[in-house]
Amino acid sequence: MSGKGKNAPRGASLWVPRLFIGISALFAAVMLILPLAVVLTEAFSSGLQVFLRAVSDIYARKALFLTLEATAASVFLNTVFGLAAAWVVTRYSFAGKGVLTTLIDIPFAVSPVIAGMIFILTFGRLSWLHPVLEEHGIRIVFATPGIILATVFVTIPFVAREVIPVLEARGTDEEQAAVLMGAGFFTIFRRVTFPHIRWALLYSVILCAARAMGEFGAVSVVSGHLRGKTNTLPLHVEILYSEYQFTAAFAVSSLLVAGAVIILTARNIVEFAARKEDSLNVH
Amino acid sequence: MYIELRDINKSFGDFQASRSVSFGIARGTLAALLGPSGSGKTTILRMIAGLETPDSGDIFINARRVNDLAPSVRGIGFVFQNYALFRYMTVFDNIAFGLRVKKEKAAAIRARVEELLELIGLEDFGKRHPAQLSGGQKQRVAFARALAPNPGLLLLDEPFAAIDAKVRRELRVWLRDMIRRLGITSIFVTHDQDEAIEVADEIIVTNKGRVEQLGAPPDLYREPATPFVADFIGESAPVENIAAFRGFEANVQGTPGAVRPEFLKVFAVGDVIQYPNSVEDAVVDDVAFRGAWLELGLVLRGIRLTARYSLEKQPPRIGDFVKVLVYRLYAFEDGKVSLRRNAELNASRHGYSYSI
Ligand SMILES: Nc1ncnc2c1ncn2[C@@H]1O[C@H](COP(=O)(O)OP(=O)(O)OP(=O)(O)O)[C@@H](O)[C@H]1O
Ligand SMILES: [Mg+2]
């Protein structure tokens, strides 16, 4: 990418880039900055006291905790799965490889609501699994495991999609050299492969966390909206909003906004560090 | 034989990359696998290393069948075509990797790495990363890394391919001397015959997955066993019908063959023409300076040949007619190569001798 327009054809008039910059800026202002500003002003519109009460409310705290729980679970599980899948897809050829790569993308293609429905159908009352689960006292739908499953499902592609191209581009020769010298799988992964993918992995984990935190559709379906039990932050916001507690809704929303800002900052730091290392070390 | 391959076959899908490959190399030998691109050189190397499994046949290293041994216990050092240095490790850590994997003592590792850094003349480069090295330096680091665990066999895949021509010559002399000094049995892959001839004790010529011939460079050069080798080694010009040349009429019409520059004599103006019945007229269509001699491109009755011409004599110009004597050539019959002499020379054995 040319970045600063250094590849722009010489002599091309300046109004074209200016026009595009203007359009982008206007769009960003109306679609992104304005809503965020509204969220924050609304959140504090009735004063700090009301804000603090809204975010320290027991249900808000439980929702925050559940959201963090689901996010952590999806980051962890998808990191493990994503790395394994990326490794297998780029290092081995086997029957069904194409199918696996396609499967990884399904959560991107399927609407989150449908993803939620899938879990209801698989584990809910209508499923043949239901009696078995019931017998063992396991609740999935309308309980925390369902929330976690739904969140994990919608974030499956993030890690694998980000890591596969890097592994593919790096080739296998360094790993083969290590194999010849007698290194075991974990040594090779830790000392040879991982340094290549660490930035891509971190980047994808950040995106995965952002998506998991904000997930609404799939979680909404499997949650059942039990206050203090199966409400995540986004669901909690929706409930507050539908109960006309606008200030509280915006206050809780601002928590999500804060989370997003932290994540984006982290992402930018990662991108910057990765680029710096790339230019210093590796061609 | 330190390393021996017996009747190795290997296919990728329905493409056969190795066809009953057999050869053996004695301990301490520096051998070259020489052949055109796609002839299966890398495949052979990778099978010896255990990175690829042959479909059939046996591989022996030091009289032990290694087919079922893991790559890491075969005692092999491997220098990859593009070096495959660990990009995220320093030069020191690259060389130390194989020793650390073997859980050697830190002090022993340090001593060994420093010894190798000195050997490759990069004592002050231990802290650098591969991206901060030149091509030739990377190559030497790859060499040191392969040598670190004291392998019995060193395999090098096109070790000079990625290096520019000037450094390449230096480096191959360096590598040859280094390998001779260490006395380690080595096989290197190349598709450059000059490289093979200059560096190797023995050359294994491959073509289309087969081994065409194995021998010392002079033997291959003097006695090519197959038409492929006769064409591939030296600057042979292919000939469709050797009976077309004067002095070779007795051969079966349509026998193909090859003519090397050394098989021709080009007479300068004023030279005594020795075998007037066999001398032919040729047109010069190219004159190139080759350092110690001139290389002439000749067209002799439609056949294109290459000849050498002494710098001492008045050089011909493009378009000039010159007198040429073909006093030997290779004839290809039934996949075999035989050297034929000009009939007029055969008839008068006395007189002049034309040794190469
Ligand atoms: N893993 C593989 N899968 C399919 N085909 C392969 C594989 N490895 C090699 N081949 C094929 O086998 C043939 C021989 O390959 P090989 O790499 O041994 O040739 P080479 O003599 O080393 O050529 P080069 O000088 O170009 O490196 C080639 O036609 C190649 O396409
Ligand atoms: Mg090759």
pLDDT confidence of residue A4: 47
In the stretch 45-74 of chain B, residues with CB closer than 8 A to chain A read 49-51, 71-73
pLDDT in tens, chain A (283 residues): 444 445 555 556 788 888 999 999 999 888 888 988 888 888 888 888 888 888 888 888 998 999 999 999 999 999 999 999 999 999 888 888 889 888 898 888 888 889 888 888 888 888 888 888 888 888 888 888 889 999 999 999 999 999 999 999 888 889 999 999 988 899 999 999 998 898 889 889 989 998 999 888 888 888 887 777 888 889 888 888 888 888 888 888 888 888 888 888 888 888 888 888 776 655 4
Q: Which of A174, A187, A283 sits opposite B84 (nearest CB)?
A: A174
pLDDT in tens, chain B (356 residues): 889 999 999 999 889 999 999 999 999 999 999 999 989 999 999 999 999 999 999 999 998 999 999 988 898 999 998 889 999 999 999 999 999 998 889 999 999 999 999 988 898 998 999 988 988 899 899 999 999 998 999 999 988 877 777 788 888 888 888 888 888 999 999 988 888 988 899 999 999 999 999 999 998 888 888 989 988 888 888 888 888 888 888 888 888 888 988 888 888 777 777 777 788 888 888 888 887 888 888 888 888 888 888 888 888 888 888 888 888 889 898 888 888 888 877 665 544 444 44
Specify the pTM. Answer: 0.79
Which residues, including other chains, have CB under 8 Å from residue B201's CB and lie 6 or more apart? B29, B30, B31, B216
Q: Which residue in A has a C-alpha nearest to residue B98's C-alpha?
A: A181
A65-124: per-residue pLDDT in tens?
Answer: 999 999 999 999 999 999 999 999 998 888 888 898 888 988 888 888 898 888 888 888
Q: Which residue in B has a C-alpha nearest to residue A279's C-alpha?
A: B131
Instruction: Give the integer Cα–Cα distance in Å for A249 and A243.
Output: 9
Instruction: Give the integer Cα–Cα distance in Å for A162 and A184.
Output: 25
Instruction: Give the integer Cα–Cα distance in Å for B244 and B252.
Output: 10
pLDDT confidence of residue B354: 44
Tokens of B190: 């190349």
Number of the ligand closest to the Cα of B10: 1
**Is CATH 1.10.3720.10 correct for A47-282?**
yes
ipTM of the complex: 0.77
**Eight-class DSSP state of A167:** H
Q: Using an 8 Å Cβ cutoff, are A147 and A70 in contact? A: yes
Q: Do A178 and B131 touch (CB under 8 A)?
A: no
**Eight-class DSSP state of B236:** P
Q: B237-355, superfamily in CATH?
A: Nucleic acid-binding proteins (2.40.50.140)
pLDDT confidence of residue A226: 78
Cα–Cα distances in angstroms (integers) from residue B104 to residues A33, B149, B153, B161, B268, in the given order: 59, 10, 21, 33, 69
| Ligand 1 within 6 A of CB of B210 | no
Instruction: Give the integer Cα–Cα distance in Å for A148 and A142.
Output: 11
B161 contact A CB<8A: no
Which residues, including other chains, have CB under 8 Å from residue A244's CB and lie 6 or more apart? none
Residue intervals in chain B for CATH 2.40.50.140: 237-355
Q: Which of A179, A187, A191 sits opposite B71 (nearest CB)?
A: A179
Please state, as a whole number, how many other Cβ atoms lie within 10 Å of the Cβ of residue B101: 18
- Would you kindly state where each structural domain of chain A is located, as residue ranges? 1-43, 47-282
Distance to chain A for B98, nearest Cα, Å: 5
User: Which residue has the least CA distance to atom 18 on ligand 1?
Assistant: B40
pLDDT confidence of residue A2: 42
Q: Which residue in B has a C-alpha nearest to residue A194's C-alpha?
A: B88
pLDDT confidence of residue B66: 92
The correct CATH number of B3-226 out of 3.40.50.300, 3.30.70.141, 2.30.110.10, 3.40.50.2300 is 3.40.50.300
Residue intervals in chain B for CATH 3.40.50.300: 3-226
Which residues of B are less than 8 Å from A283 in CB distance? 131
Instruction: Give the integer Cα–Cα distance in Å for B28 and B46.
Output: 20
E strands in B26-139: 30-34, 56-61, 64-65, 76-79
